């Protein structure tokens, strides 16, 4: 089986296993996803979903968050870790949205990437989830699972994994595929325990089956 064939088979099986998989960060407006992805660095999505509720109670829109005192933002987001740098990035980001984009989020990958604290993973997540564009989100689950399954070989650097996956994943499948990898990575192909290969829907085609 070529890597492309393997990728298509994995995509189909994960679709059956997790038909409704979507982003595990809660948001109802695009700019809120931008805030959440910054807070999610080295923090669980569950915790981020709780903290942002408090943040939006105090600062309900781009304008109020852009005008907020950075220390006040930091005090709220501190439980997500890296409070100082996250608060600084969120503040700078919201100011740019207010001043340059009429309080909306930019629509191109490169413009998103230019925002403070936004890396390729976050920009891809937003392109896929907000704009329905092709996206490959190389988070920790994606990198671990694609290596184990054999879709990539010994590549750990996120951008290199992303580039390798672009060659074998149909673009329109990328965003949902990455969401499903998160679900599978949490429930079956786990990081902190031995993966549960005996109950894995990919067991017969996975390179690393244990
Ligand atoms: S067979 Fe095992 S290593 Fe492979 S994807 Fe499934 S759980 Fe992970």
- pLDDT for the residue 135: 96
**Å from CA of 166 to ligand 1 middle:** 22
Burial of 153 (0-12, 13-18, 19+ CB in 10 A): exposed
Using alpha carbons, select from 55, 56, 66, 45 the residue that is nearest to residue 141. Answer: 45
Distance, in Å, from the CA atom of 132 to the CA atom of 2, rounded to the nearest integer, reads 28
Q: Is 197 a pocket residue for ligand 1 (Cβ < 6 Å)?
A: yes
With a cut of 70, list the residues of the chain below it in pLDDT.
Answer: 210
Q: Which of 139, 160, 204, 207 is catalytic?
A: 139
Q: Which of 3, 32, 86, 121 is catalytic?
A: 121
Is 156 one of the annotated active-site residues of the chain? no
- Asked whether the CA dihedral 53, 59, 60, 63 is positive or negative, the reply is negative
Q: What is the pTM of this model?
A: 0.91
Atom number, ligand 1, closest to the C-alpha of residue 210: 2
- Other CB atoms within a 10 A radius of the CB of residue 90 amount to 26
Ligand 1 centroid to residue 195 C-alpha, Å: 6
How high is the mean pLDDT of the chain? 96
Task: Collect all residues with Cβ–Cβ distance below 8 Å to 206 and sequence separation of at least 6.
Answer: 148, 149, 150, 197, 200
pLDDT in the model for residue 209: 77
């Amino acid at each position: 089986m070529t890597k492309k064939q393997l990728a298509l088979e994995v995509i189909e099986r994960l679709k059956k296993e997790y038909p409704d998989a979507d982003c595990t960060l809660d948001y109802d407006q695009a700019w809120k996803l931008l805030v959440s992805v910054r807070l999610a660095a080295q923090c669980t999505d569950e915790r981020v979903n709780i903290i942002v509720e408090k943040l939006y109670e105090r600062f309900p829109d781009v304008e109020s968050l852009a005008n907020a005192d950075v220390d006040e933002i930091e005090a709220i987001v501190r439980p997500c870790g890296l409070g100082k740098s996250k608060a600084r990035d969120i503040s700078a980001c919201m100011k740019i949205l207010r001043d340059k984009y009429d309080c909306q989020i930019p629509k191109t990958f490169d413009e998103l990437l230019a925002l403070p604290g936004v890396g390729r993973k976050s920009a891809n997540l937003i392109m896929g989830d907000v704009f329905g564009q092709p996206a490959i989100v190389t988070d920790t689950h994606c990198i671990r699972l694609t290596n184990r399954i054999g879709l990539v070989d010994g590549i750990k650097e996120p951008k290199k994994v992303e580039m390798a996956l672009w060659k074998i994943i149909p673009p329109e499948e990328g965003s949902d595929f990455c969401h499903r990898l998160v679900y599978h990575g949490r429930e079956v192909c786990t990081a902190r325990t031995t993966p549960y290969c005996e109950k894995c829907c990919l067991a017969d085609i996975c390179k690393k089956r244990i």
